């Protein structure tokens, strides 16, 4: 009897731990990497690699005419023990495969990405002779510049939590404003 309760309790704990991952929908966490595009820049973020001899590993952007990791555009991963990232700029429109190889030889993940052609024709920006560019300091916040597109379930849960918090605050403030009656 005692063993069956313990087994049931551990099963419920495992189910509760797996629930957020299943509600998140298909994600790059299953592959170990998260790939995003902004214009002609492709970036990848992972937390699967560990540092070996001062290196986190390499990421490769493999085009449709390339077949292997070594044939792609390789960039060294940079980051911390929490998150490692790499980016490619000036990527032509097309479909690419991003592969991350950790320094210990394991593959952190593989994911396809589509780089779209820019919409609308715009002229190139002109730079005056008094322009002095600020030094580049890389990505300033977030997890290496990654972005996520949240689905309707996540947005619905968030809206429910916000609505509940507002209702609780209104109830608390109204209750405080009433004088005590004995």
- Two structure tokens written together for 175: 């209750």
* CATH classification for the domain delimited by 28-115, as one of 3.40.50.360, 2.30.110.10, 2.60.40.1930, 2.60.120.20: 2.60.40.1930
pLDDT at 27: 38
Domain ranges within the chain, ordered by starting residue: 28-115
Query: Consecutive 10-residue runs of the chain (182 residues): their mean pLDDT?
Result: 47 42 40 85 89 89 86 89 89 90 89 82 49 49 55 86 94 77 62
- 60 neighbors 69 (Cβ within 8 angstroms): yes
- 48 neighbors 33 (Cβ within 8 angstroms): yes
pLDDT at 160: 94
pLDDT at 174: 83
pLDDT at 162: 94
pLDDT at 128: 45
DSSP assignment of 25-73 equals: -S-GGGTTEEEEEETTEEEEEES----BTTB-EEEEEE-TT--SGGGSE
pLDDT at 69: 87
């Amino acid at each position: 009897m005692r063993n069956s309760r313990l087994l049931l309790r551990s099963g419920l704990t495992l189910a509760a731990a797996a629930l957020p991952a299943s509600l998140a929908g298909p994600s790059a966490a299953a592959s170990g990497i998260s790939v995003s595009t902004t214009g002609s820049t492709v970036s990848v973020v992972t937390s699967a690699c560990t540092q070996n001899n001062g290196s986190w590993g390499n990421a490769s952007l493999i085009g449709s005419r390339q077949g292997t990791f070594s044939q792609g555009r390789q960039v060294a991963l940079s980051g911390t023990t929490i998150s490692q990232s790499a980016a490619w700029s000036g990527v032509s429109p097309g479909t690419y495969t991003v592969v991350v190889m950790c320094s210990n030889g394991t593959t952190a993940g593989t994911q396809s990405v589509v780089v779209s052609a820019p919409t609308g024709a715009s002229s190139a920006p002109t730079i005056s002779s008094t322009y002095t560019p600020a030094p580049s300091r890389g990505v300033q916040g977030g997890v290496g510049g990654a972005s996520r597109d949240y689905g309707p379930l996540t947005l619905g849960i968030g809206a429910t939590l916000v609505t509940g918090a507002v209702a609780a605050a209104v109830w608390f403030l109204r209750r405080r404003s009433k004088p005590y009656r004995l």
